[in-house]
Amino acid sequence: MPVLEQLIESGFTLLLIFDEPALFLLFVLKGAIIGKIFPTSLLLPGYLIAISASSRLIAISILVASFGYVTGQLIIYHISNSRGIDAINALPNVSVSDEQIMKAEYYFQQYSGIGIFVTNLAPFVGSFIMIPAGMTSYPITRTTFYALTSTVLNYIIIVLISFESIELLGIL
């Protein structure tokens, strides 16, 4: 079994056993770059489909995942604010390339808070913008607002597309 498939299966098993606490933890790791390898865009809707989640549970799960992801991002913000980029690279399973930093710095310098909002809508970009945001001491309330609103929107879109695709295929 390929490594990615094993990782998806392990993450999915954790979700089925521990529900929202595991969901929160997986998304904290994802937001903190440590768990970037977790395909959370697949795990969240897959988990919701597997448990036949009600509308209420879907909303709760989206909020739990969003708060988890943003918590992880705020960890990156805090580490880069207090210790710099070297401390980020010292995290387990984290390697931030110069190209990723340059992109994040560019988006942050050009767009600041709106850059945080937009990059959280794109895969693999959102957490990296927290590095220049933290290093420049961008206001934490604005950082949190932009990150949380875009993350909630992102997960709503992902879940809607997943559920609509499955319904369209006649699987559910």
Across 57-66, 79-88, 118-127, least confident range: 118-127
Mean pLDDT of the chain: 88
Residue 49's domain spans which residues? 3-169
Residues sharing a CB contact under 8 Å with residue 76, sequence separation 6 or more, in sequence order: 31, 32, 33, 88, 127, 130, 131, 134
Determine the average pLDDT of the residues in 99-112.
87
The pLDDT tens digits of the residues spanning 27-53 come to 999 999 888 777 888 889 989 998 989
Tell if the pTM clears 0.85, that is, is over it: yes
Distance of CA 93 to the CA centre of its chain: 16
Q: Are 26 and 20 in contact (CB under 8 A)?
A: no
Question: To the nearest whole percent, how much of the chain has pLDDT over 90?
Answer: 48
Number of domains the chain contains = 1
Average pLDDT of the residues in 9-18? 80
Residue 91, pLDDT > 60, answer: yes
Q: Which amino acid makes up residue 168?
A: L
pLDDT for position 35 = 80
Cα 56 to Cα 30, 52, 53, distances in angstroms: 24, 11, 8
In the predicted model, is pLDDT for residue 172 greater than 60?
no
Taking residues 129-142, what's their average pLDDT?
94
Q: Which pLDDT value is given to residue 11? A: 75
What pLDDT shows up at residue 153? 96
Q: For tokens 């929160």, what's the residue?
A: 24
